[in-house]
A and B are shown apart, each in its own frame.
Chain A
Amino acid sequence: MAENIATIFQWLVFLGAAFGSIIASLLVITRKNPIHSALFLVLTFLCVSVLYVLLYQQFMFIIQIFVYAGAIAMLIVFVLMLLDLEVEVRSGLKLFYSKAIGGVLAVLFLFGIIYSVVAKSPTGKVGSYAPDKLSGNVKAVGQMLFTQYLFPFEIVSVLLAAAIIGAVILSKKRT
């Protein structure tokens, strides 16, 4: 009985976070004001981070809050305030057709995804790592990052350095 209650709460949290993220992302793409879109984007990221906690991935939860909801969303809002944007112009008839075609294609794509997910349950080589047995997975992630994935880690550090230098050079005022 106690296990049932835990499972019911797991379902409730999953459904709440899932519908919250879907509604928030729908609001991201329908709001006219870009600032509202950015704030609903932060809400979507927070709902997704709740899902990471439900999947026992504390490391991803922390990184999601810090990098996505903190750094990237802050950068977007900052640039939106830097640029003085008028409200998005209402699109004409030609654009309406392209929107309809794009939406229909995307929904067909969604049906493809759902079919491929439901048709066959995910299989693969099951590893030895059991997240629900551990109290936290940050240590395990760090160990794997600095041994097996050391080379991609160094590549990512070079990429981030290049991105910082590129951003500074691009946004520097020309003299």
Chain B
Amino acid sequence: MTIPNVPPECYLVLSGILFTIGVIGALTRRNAIVVFMCIELMLNAVNISFVALSRFLQSLDGVLFAFFVIAVAAAEAAVGLAIFVMIYRSKETINVDEINILKW
């Protein structure tokens, strides 16, 4: 009797679970930086499914897409955190419920 390898469905379900946890966090938390962390969690979950499908379809395209996703996430982190610092300087808070105007 041989035990089967880990099927790709397991990785895809894990990716879906992590993505859903990220969505719930982004919808329920009020701290802007925690919302930002949840967005990183969602990007990471998408990367898992890219890499898993790239492994099981034996092609490298998924890995390169995940690489570009990571590059975009890094750019987003730099700009997003700079925006949070600027909002904190002018509003003294980064609670997303209080940052509800476009002009101040």
Query: Which residues of A does B touch, CB under 8 Å?
Result: 3-4, 7-8, 10-11, 14, 18, 21-22, 25-26, 28-29, 34, 37-38, 41, 44-45, 48, 51-52, 54-57, 59-60, 63-64, 67-68, 71-72, 75-76, 79-80, 82-83, 85, 88-89, 91, 95, 98-99, 102-103, 106-107, 109-110, 113-114, 117-118, 121-122, 124-131, 137, 140-141, 144-145, 149, 152, 156, 159-160, 162-164, 166-168, 170-171
Inter-chain contact B82/A26, CB cutoff 8 Å: no
How many contacts A-B (CB < 8 Å)?
238
Query: Which residue of chain A has the shortest Cβ distance to B21 in the bound complex?
Result: A25
Query: Which residue of chain A has the shortest Cβ distance to B75 in the bound complex?
Result: A163
Inter-chain contact B12/A128, CB cutoff 8 Å: no
Inter-chain contact A171/B86, CB cutoff 8 Å: yes
- Given the interface pairs A103-B28, A110-B17, the reply to whether A63 lies near B78 with Cβ below 8 Å is no
CB distance from A89 to the nearest CB of B (A): 7
Inter-chain contact A171/B2, CB cutoff 8 Å: no
Query: Which residue of chain B has the shortest Cβ distance to A160 in the bound complex?
Result: B75
- What CA separation (Å) do A155 and B9 show in the bound complex? 33
Q: Point out the residues of chain A lying under 8 angstroms from B77, CB to CB.
A: 71-72, 75-76
Q: What does DSSP make chain A's interface, helix, strand, loop or mixed?
A: helix
5 A–B contacts from the bound complex (CB under 8 Å)? A88-B29, A88-B31, A114-B13, A117-B12, A124-B53
- What CA separation (Å) do A159 and B70 show in the bound complex? 12
- What CA separation (Å) do A27 and B21 show in the bound complex? 10
CB distance from B11 to the nearest CB of A (A): 7
The total of chain B residues at the interface (CB under 8 A) is 74
Q: A41-B41, A107-B20, A167-B81 are in contact. List 7 more A-B contacts (CB 8 A).
A: A10-B6, A28-B34, A29-B34, A129-B59, A156-B71, A164-B78, A170-B86
Q: Point out the residues of chain B lying under 8 angstroms from A162, CB to CB.
A: 75
Inter-chain contact B60/A144, CB cutoff 8 Å: yes
Inter-chain contact A79/B25, CB cutoff 8 Å: no
Inter-chain contact A125/B57, CB cutoff 8 Å: yes
